[in-house]
Amino acid sequence: MAVSAFETMEQQKESLRRHMRVLREQYAARLTPGDWRLAGENMARMLSTILAVRRSAVISFCPRMGLEPDLAAIHCVLREAGAGVALPRIIPGPERGMEFVIGGELKRGPLGISQPAGGTVIPPDAVELALVPALAADLNGRRLGHGAGYYDRYLARLRAGTPKIACIFDFQVLEKVPAAAHDIPMDAILTGQRWIPLRIQSG
């Protein structure tokens, strides 16, 4: 995808978002239900092999939204390992805040996405691993989100050194993703085909 030198950073991001959404729709149209499940199972297998998840560790988890990878198998692996799996909840208001919650009944949230009602709010400094959705990511750790900034604002509040892993399809790994200074870099990329360590050591 060609990028004009005259586009601002936000214009470059929005152009790439539109492009990646089209590619994702085309990719998803070719997948069978079995393909979705297999991709998720492969991701779970790689994650459990590469990262030793400590029992009682708190993991911020990104449930599937729309045409994103199905991470149900990862959720099962984390629960079986005894990890506390925290799900995102949008905080209403102009700040566009987000918190992560363990427990609670899933109900439809402000963006039409299922999120916990009730449960225990987990402070950001208690999170030991963050699984993060994206439209694209590159090998320098730059991540392209959906544009609302919920995840970047939350990730900025995590303890320094907390591993952040972008969970995407392999075609969403790009040579370069436009990023601003406030964009939080990823430490690794997990696809249904490979694990790509960026700033943290595997094993």
Classify residue 169: in a domain, yes or no.
yes
Q: Indicate whether 203 belongs to any domain.
A: no
Q: Say how far apart CA 15 and CA 187 lie, in whole Å.
A: 25
Distances (CA, A) of 179 to 21, 86, 152, 158, 186: 18, 27, 11, 19, 12
99: domain CATH number? 3.40.50.10420
Closest C-alpha to 187, from 135, 141, 118: 141
Pairing of the two strands 143-144 and 136-138: antiparallel
Cα-Cα-Cα-Cα dihedral of 175, 179, 184, 187, to 10°?
10
Find the largest Cα–Cα distance for the chain: 50
- Residue 131 included in any domain: yes
Whole-model pTM? Answer: 0.86
- The pLDDT of residue 201: 43
Q: What pLDDT was estimated at residue 203?
A: 39
Question: Is 199 a member of any domain?
Answer: no
Phi and psi, residue 144, nearest 5°: -105, 115
Instruction: Provide the pLDDT for residue 26.
Output: 94
Report pLDDT digits (tens) over 132-180.
Answer: 999 999 999 999 998 888 888 999 999 999 999 999 999 999 999 998 8
Please indicate, yes or no, if residue 41 is contained in any of the structural domains. yes
The pLDDT of residue 202 is 41
Q: What is the enclosing helix (H) or strand (E) of 120?
A: strand 120-122
Residue 127 located in a structural domain:
yes
Q: Which residues of the chain have pLDDT under 70?
A: 1-6, 52-57, 63-65, 94, 199-203
102 domain-assigned: yes
Domain count, the chain: 1
Domain that holds residue 111: 9-194
Report yes or no on 140 lying in a domain. yes
